[in-house]
Amino acid sequence: MNHEPTRLEPALLEWLARADHEPGRGWAPDLPIGELRCHPDLVARLAEIARPIGHARRRFVAGCPVIQHPKGRPIAAAAGTSWLVVRSALSPGGLRSARPLDAQLDPDWVELDPWGVEVAFARTIDLLRGHVARAYERAEAEAEA
């Protein structure tokens, strides 16, 4: 298992950048540890913040968890021990990533610190959930357009 990527999986980045995605099929179960390219704690953190949002779906792409709108648009993804992106188009504020990776995704994707080192624990969860909720709303609006 690769906990901290020095580069992101090309298959994950290609998948996130695509415009055509199959509708999500529910909440995929956790992968066996040997297949993960994301630390189990980060997989759990992403689930904690995303599961309560609308009818969010989860799948794994290249061993990394991806959150999708039910119509298929990806809204969040994680890799390693601390790489988290959300398609919220919001300012990261206090959740700005201390070590951003150049993922070369659309500017609507925002890199966030999933652990909120500079923010209180409960507030970190609320802020992360706000980003995912905004990304879900944007995907919902795009699906209706």
State pLDDT tens for residues 34-79.
999 999 999 999 999 999 999 999 999 999 999 999 999 999 999 9
Q: How many C-beta neighbours within 10 Å does residue 26 have?
A: 10
Domain coordinates in residue numbering, the chain: 10-144
What pLDDT band is residue 121 in, cutting at 50, 70 and 90?
confident
Q: Which whole number is the average pLDDT over 9-29?
A: 92
Mean pLDDT comparison of 17-31, 41-55, 89-103, 110-124, highest-scoring range:
41-55
pLDDT of residue 122: 83
- What is the C-alpha to C-alpha distance for residues 116 and 101, in angstroms, rounded to an integer? 17
